[in-house]
Each structure stands twice: as C-alpha cells, then as structure tokens.
C-alpha cells in the first residue's frame, strides 16, 4: 500500500513538473520578440493657411443716403444694411474686411448728411452687419466737429464692435496700433490723412487725427511689427478729388513707403487709398500693392466740380488680396492673389451695386464696369497679376 502511494506521488510529481515545463515554454514563446517593427514616418507638417483681406471704398452718406436709410428703417431710426447688401457677399466671406468711414457721428439723432458730413450711429452697426471688422477714420473731415465728434464716432464704433484706426480720443490711444487677427496672422491696421489747407486739428490735440507724415507712418509701422504684426496695412486718405490718376504726392509717398525696409523686410505690406472720391489705379510698387483710390462705396451727388465733370463719383471697387505665409520664419507674408470687384452706388435706389452681378442679371451697366476696369488697370497692374473678380 505504501509502495502504491509512493508510485502515485511520483507520477503526480512528474505530471506537475511536465506541466510547469510546458507552461514555461508557453510563456517563453509569448515573450519572444518578433521581427523589428519599422518606425512610423512622421506626418508631413500641415501647410500653414493664409488669409483673404477685402477693402472697401469710402463710406460717405450725404443727405439723400441718410434719408434713404431712414426710409428703410420704416420710421424707426436709420437702417443702412439694405444699402450695403450688394457688398455683403464679398465682404462677409473675407477673413478680414476693412473700410473707410469718412463721416463722424451726428450730435443729434435723426440728423446727418451734407454739408456737415455727419451720420447716424446706426451706420456703424450696419458696417458690422455687412462684415467689416475695422474702418479707417482719418480724413480731412474728421476734425470738423471737434474732439466731441471724434469721441462720439469712436464710442459708437466701440459699441457696435467695429475697430478703428486714424483718429483718437486720447494721446495714448493715438500711439496704440490697431491689431487685428485674420486666420493665423496678426494684422496691424494703421490710418492717416494727407493734410490739406482746410484741415484744422483740435487745439491742443494734434494727435486726434493721424496725419500722413512719412516718418510718422514708418515709425508706426515698425512699432507695430515689433508688437507682433505679421502684416502691416496702411490706409491713406489722399489724392486730388475727382482725379482718376494719382497725383505726384501720391506717387512719391507710395514709392517711399513701399521702399522702406527693416532687416531686409518691407515695413508696409499693403497700402489702401481713399480721398479722390473716384476709382483710381492699383499698382505694385517695390513689390507691394498700392491702391491709389477705391472710390466711394456710399456717396451722393458729387459737390466737387471735377467729380461732376468726370461722372465717376459713384463708382468704386472692392480690393481683395490673398496673403500666404512666409516660406521661412521671419519672412514676409506675400500677396499671392490680387483682385478687384467693380461696384457703383445707385443714387436713385440708394443701394451699393455689384456691377458684375447686375450685368449678369441684364442691367445695361457694361460701360460703367469697363470704365472702372480700365482705370484700375491703367498703370499696368495686370502684368503683375491683378484680375477683375467675377
């Protein structure tokens, strides 16, 4: 009996030992490394996207336009949104949209227009609704109402969420660049008015309206770059009223601003002009696009004799520029596509008209559009890639 138990124990021991060896073999097989895995290739870095910038002409509602906005509001203030609807498709789809507001806000509700060049506060709200992000406010008419008018205007723009450049309520504000964001880029919007004989700055507040002094513009542009701006856009209220060709002052200042460089990089990346109240040419100067004059997006019957004679006081353009990021860190954001969209302000209907859309709809406006096209391309911009958008 004892011998039998011993045999069973020995057999069980052998069985357990064999099982353990088998289990060890199983674990050994599991732990044996297979063929070396090939390391995954890193995904190529995603291309940094660019952005589109759209710029519109002067917003200068005279009495008839203010009256029309009152009619469109159906007796409840003023509504400029229907007036600007013809520009909204292009403006609202841009990453950044800039305009020029040439009027100040009226002191009393229900007033405005010519000759005071004042507008109701609803105008700022309509510009935001159209898609504009910032407006230049420097012009020869900016100081007409004194510091109070400048303050009213900028306060109304702040309430509407519309940024501004070119006029200021305080000296500190005048020294602070307007910084905007367009896609991945940081954009500085600077604005200045060419001084004229009728420009009278508020006593003791010469900083209230930024004047187009070359040294001041370039100093501000360099400061904005140091503050982190990838792109510096300069709006200029300049030129001879009613003249479709840029005058010698425009040509000279455009040359100097676009030639200025710091560390091999241009100080100014785009120049947007208003002031002549008619469309003027676009031109690439020293590798930088200059719009000498976009015309008036909202206007009225021109009061200047020259504007009446050339008959183009209600024509304008929208400029559209596509910026692409630099190929290397610290390089320049380049304009890789430049376009213009011809427009007019229908003074009878009180509406901004996209001329291409109107012509496609059967309107007999081909001559108006072609005249604007010929003016815009008059200094050879087509050879540098400027096209009329459709």
- Whole-angstrom Cα distance, residue 99 to residue 116? 21
Residue at 33 is within a domain: no
Identify whether 18 is part of a domain: no
Strand (E) or helix (H) holding 338: strand 334-346
Residue 60 domain boundaries: 51-388
Residues 6+ apart with CB under 8 A from 281: 245, 246, 292, 293, 375, 376, 377, 378, 379, 381
pLDDT at 20: 40
Is residue 271 included in any domain, yes or no? yes
Asked whether the beta carbons of 347 and 300 are under 8 A apart, the reply is yes
**Three-state DSSP class for residue 156:** helix
Within a domain: residue 1? no
Report the number of distinct structural domains present in the chain: 1
Using CA atoms, how far apart are residues 45 and 67, in angstroms rounded to an integer? 55
The torsion angles phi and psi of 97, rounded to 5 degrees, stand at -130, 130
What pLDDT is recorded for position 313?
82
Are the CB atoms for 106 and 116 separated by under 8 Å? Answer: yes
16 assigned to some structural domain: no
Please give the pLDDT value at position 1.
Answer: 40
Residue 33: per-residue pLDDT:
46
Cβ contacts of 278 within 8 Å, gap of 6 or more? 242, 243, 244, 293, 295, 296, 307, 310, 312, 313, 315
Q: Is residue 384 part of a domain?
A: yes
* Residue with token string 């040359």: 255
What tokens appear for 235 in the block? 């709006």
Q: What is the CATH number of the domain that holds 64?
A: 3.60.21.10
Strands 351-354 and 334-346: antiparallel
Whole-number pLDDT of residue 32: 42
Q: Is residue 90 part of a domain?
A: yes
Q: In Å, how far are 31, 33, 202, 290, 335 from 22, measured between CA atoms?
A: 14, 19, 99, 84, 72
pLDDT mean by block of 10 residues, the chain; 390 residues: 38 39 38 48 64 97 92 94 97 98 79 62 96 96 88 96 97 97 97 80 90 96 96 97 96 98 96 97 98 94 47 89 93 97 95 96 96 98 95
- pLDDT given for residue 7 in this prediction: 42
Q: Map tokens 């898609």 to a residue.
A: 131
**Residue 2 lies inside a defined structural domain of this protein:** no
């Amino acid at each position: 009996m004892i011998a039998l138990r011993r045999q069973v124990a020995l057999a069980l021991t052998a069985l357990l030992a064999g099982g353990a060896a088998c289990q060890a073999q199983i674990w050994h097989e599991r732990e044996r490394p297979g063929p070396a895995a090939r390391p995954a290739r890193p995904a190529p870095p995603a291309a940094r996207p660019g952005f589109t910038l759209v710029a519109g002409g002067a917003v200068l509602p005279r009495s008839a336009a203010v009256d029309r906005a009152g009619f469109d509001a159906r007796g409840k203030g003023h509504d400029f949104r229907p007036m600007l609807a013809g520009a909204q498709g292009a403006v609202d789809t841009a990453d950044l949209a800039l305009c020029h507001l040439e009027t100040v806000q009226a002191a009393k509700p229900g007033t405005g227009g010519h000759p005071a060049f004042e507008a109701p506060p609803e105008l700022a709200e309509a510009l935001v609704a159209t898609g504009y992000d910032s407006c230049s406010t420097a012009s020869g008419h900016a100081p007409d109402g004194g510091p109070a008018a400048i303050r009213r205007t900028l306060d109304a723009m702040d309430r509407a969420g519309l940024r501004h450049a070119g006029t200021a309520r305080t000296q500190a504000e005048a020294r602070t660049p307007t910084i905007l964001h367009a896609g991945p880029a940081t954009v500085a919007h600077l604005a200045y008015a060419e001084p004229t004989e009728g420009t009278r700055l508020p006593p003791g507040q010469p900083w209230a309206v930024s004047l187009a002094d070359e040294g001041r513009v370039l100093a501000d542009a360099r400061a904005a770059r140091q503050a982190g701006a990838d792109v510096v856009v300069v709006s200029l209220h300049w030129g001879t009223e009613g003249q479709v060709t840029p005058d010698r002052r425009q040509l000279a200042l455009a040359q100097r601003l676009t030639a200025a460089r710091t560390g091999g990089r241009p100080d100014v990346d785009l120049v947007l002009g208003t002031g002549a109240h008619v469309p003027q040419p676009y031109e690439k100067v020293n590798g930088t696009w200059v719009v000498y004059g976009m015309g008036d997006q909202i206007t009225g019957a021109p009061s200047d004799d020259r504007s009446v004679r050339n008959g183009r006081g209600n024509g304008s353009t929208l400029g559209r520029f596509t910026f692409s990021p630099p190929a290397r860190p610290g390089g320049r954001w380049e304009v890789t596509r430049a376009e213009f969209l011809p427009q007019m302000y229908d003074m009878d209907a009180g509406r901004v008209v996209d001329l291409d859309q109107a012509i496609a709809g059967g309107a007999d406006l081909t001559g108006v559009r072609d005249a604007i096209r010929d003016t815009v391309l008059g200094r050879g911009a087509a050879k540098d890639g400027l096209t009329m958008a459709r």
